[in-house]
A and B are shown apart, each in its own frame.
Chain A
Amino acid sequence: MQRGWFAKRRRAEELAIDEMNDAWVKCSGCGQILFARDFERNLKVCPRCGHHHRLSARERIALLADEGTFAERDAEVVSADPLGFPEYPDKLSKGRANSGLPEAMVSGTCTLSGVPIVLAVADFAFMGGSMGSAVGEKVARAMEHALAQRLPIVVCSTSGGARMQEGLLSLMQMAKTCAAAAKLHEAGVPYISVLTDPTMAGVLASYASVGDVVIAEPGALIGFAGQRVAQQAQVIKPPPNFQTAEFQLEHGMVDIVVPRKELKHTLYRVLRFFTGG
């Protein structure tokens, strides 16, 4: 949904990277020119200012899953165009081209530091990671698999929210994913939600907020409504860190803000608490 305002941010980020040749990358946080190799080695976190650049779903899976253990599931579940919505098929094609993925969510099983888990990871390059029927279905299936196998599940979100092009059906994915999360909740199957830049609107207001533990990446944009809408709505001036991971931590909505290089180990420590001992 509310996409205009961070689409601008996304374009700036892409441009900054595209303009450079393969050897160099410009940090979209501080503008520093960095060796691409160092930048990659540092997990796309700027060594100078600490800005966490977005990871693709594949990159994040590589970051979290033990090497060679990720087995993808439900890759065949992809978006249809149930409303015959203007330009939606084109946007889907572009999403596939931009991300190299069939859909905005990749899910499967793997081990994380030896702990078997279900892992689902969104990709912002596919239509802003937005949740339509296929994304909702993949999240629900991943959770149902976690329930059936009694495996903990980690879901990493990056999304502008519900996908406008599927109308009410997208909205209903909020209820569907929360229904699946409700079963995990009742069965006592651990669900860890990882919020990465950006996690907004219909995704934040559904499955992403009901994890047993909610972890966010530093500086990630996390919020309900676009900043412009939020500002227009009230006389109260938003604080400078409004809708960041740190703001959400300060207001009690996030358990931990974890730098990327510590994310896997932190997840391991959390998972071990729930599954080990």
Chain B
Amino acid sequence: MRTVLDFEKPIAELDANIEALKRITAEQGIDKSEEIAALERDRERLLKEIFRNLTPWDRTLLARHPQRPYTLDYVRAIFDDFVELHGDRQFGDDGAIVGGLGWLNEKPVMVIGQQKGRDLKERQRRNFGMAKPEGYRKALRLMHLAEKFGRPVITFVDTPAADPGVESESRGISEAIARNLREMILLKVPLISVVIGEGGSGGALGIAVADRVLMQEYAIYSVIPPEGCAAILWRDPKRAPEAAEALKLTAQDAQRFGVVDEVIEEPVGGAHRDPLTAAQIVKDALLRHLPPLQKLSVSKLRENRYERYRRLGVWRIAEE
């Protein structure tokens, strides 16, 4: 079933009207093409209008939209001959993080990303995209494999958070994320991360330290989910829309803070309305960003990456 967000409802209503007119044309042979064309023009205008005025909370809902393309949708659309690889060689295989070998046009690349599920069964298998320590360790294993053979790494970020459960704690979820942060800084091959949905805190960052961080227009990136923030600030998770505002979690904010290098456009109305076009835009961005990184020497690449993260943050110098 398609999910329609509240602010998408006027569009869904127009879609239903257009459908009805098309049915009449088909079933009764009455020509409604002019009315249909007029409605379609209205629809386009309305869609643009609505998406120009999205609040941070609207964007949060869009980033979590159940029909939004997930990592494997992008992998299928962007890379050729993807061979998925499994397991961390220590404990198991985590369905919340997928990875493998792929070709970006003529270039071999390692692809890694968080994967949510489409139906209940897959959601459970993939733990709603919340990776456990073995997921982060699988990601790191694949990055080191890429490094060994001089292949660049591309990661797709889409997770509400790292798995917070007892099992993950027992196997060192904090250590797994922390180690990835350190190792990604040291990696000798180019790294590009694309935030495609929810950039959920440390769970997202655990595969998102990169030379270039790209972010889709309606994705979010936050230190804490707005609901959690509202619960702490006002003891009221229902005030999440206000918290989303305060947290500055949009792609445009992330770019302003220097966390994200480029905001990647989405098709009008969001990636879920046209996943293939969305994927093509992401692919074009990857093809633009990768070659300059591959031209750098290993030492320059790593020096730039270090500086990129070393600069982040805003503080002040206190007067005596």
Contact = CB atoms under 8 A, between A and B. Distances in A.
A206 B223 contact: no
Contact of B312 (A85, A164, A175): A175
B202 A86 contact: no
A202 B201 contact: yes
B181 A174 contact: yes
A186 interface: yes
Interface string A183-212: 101100000000000000110111111100
Interface stretch (B42-50, B151-159, B244-252): B244-252
Interface residues of B, number: 54
Contacts of A164: 223-224, 229, 232-233, 247
A176 B312 CA distance: 7
A171 B174 contact: no
B38 interface: no
A133 B314 contact: yes
B313 A172 contact: yes
Interface in B154-197: 162-175, 177-179, 181-183, 185-186
Contact of B313 (A2, A85, A169): A169
B172 A171 contact: no
Interface in B180-238: 181-183, 185-186, 201-202, 205-206, 209, 221-224, 228-229, 231-233
Q: Which of B171, B231, B232 has the most CB of A within 10 A?
A: B232
Contacts of A2: 228
Given A205-B174, A206-B181, A179 B310 contact: yes
B316 A79 contact: yes
Contacts of A60: none
B86 to A, nearest CB: 23
Contact of A133 (B173, B229, B233, B315): B315
Given A223-B169, A253-B174, A83 B181 contact: no
B178 A208 contact: yes
A78 B318 CA distance: 6
Nearest to B127: A233
A132 B316 CA distance: 12
Interface string A158-183: 00001010111111111110111111
A256 to B, nearest CB: 16
A1 interface: yes
A243 B185 CA distance: 28
B257 interface: yes
A85 B309 contact: no
B201 A236 contact: no
A230 B178 CA distance: 19
A234 interface: yes
Given A176-B309, A176-B312, A179-B310, A251 B172 contact: yes
B306 interface: yes
A173 B257 CA distance: 13
A29 interface: no
Contact-residue size bin, chain A (C-beta under 8 Å from the other chain)? 35 or more
A205 to B, nearest CB: 4
Contact of A224 (B162, B186, B221, B247): B162
A171 B223 contact: yes
Interface stretch (A13-21, A51-59, A134-142, A267-275): A134-142
A178 B180 CA distance: 9
B166 A230 contact: yes
Contacts of B318: 75-78, 102
Contact of B201 (A171, A183, A247, A252): A171
Nearest to A102: B318
Given A1-B223, A202-B223, A174 B202 contact: yes
A88 B166 CA distance: 32
Contact of B316 (A80, A170, A206, A251): A80
Contacts of A168: 221-223, 247-249, 253-254, 257, 259
B309 A179 contact: yes
B317 interface: yes
- Select the residue from A1, A166, A185, A233 with max chain B CB neighbours within 10 A: A233
A175 B181 contact: yes
A47 interface: no
A229 to B, nearest CB: 5
A229 B202 CA distance: 15
A251 B170 CA distance: 6
Contacts of B173: 205, 224
A82 interface: yes
A162 B223 contact: yes
A101 to B, nearest CB: 11
A170 B248 CA distance: 12
A238 interface: yes
A1 B185 contact: no
Interface of A: 1-4, 75-80, 82-83, 85-87, 102, 132-134, 136-137, 140, 162, 164, 166-176, 178-183, 185-186, 201-202, 204-210, 223-226, 229-231, 233-234, 236-238, 242-243, 247, 251-253
Given A180-B310, A236-B167, 4 more contacts: A134-B315, A169-B257, A205-B177, A210-B182
In the A-B complex, list the 4 residue pairs whose CB atoms are closest, starting with the nearest: A133-B313, A225-B164, A178-B181, A209-B178
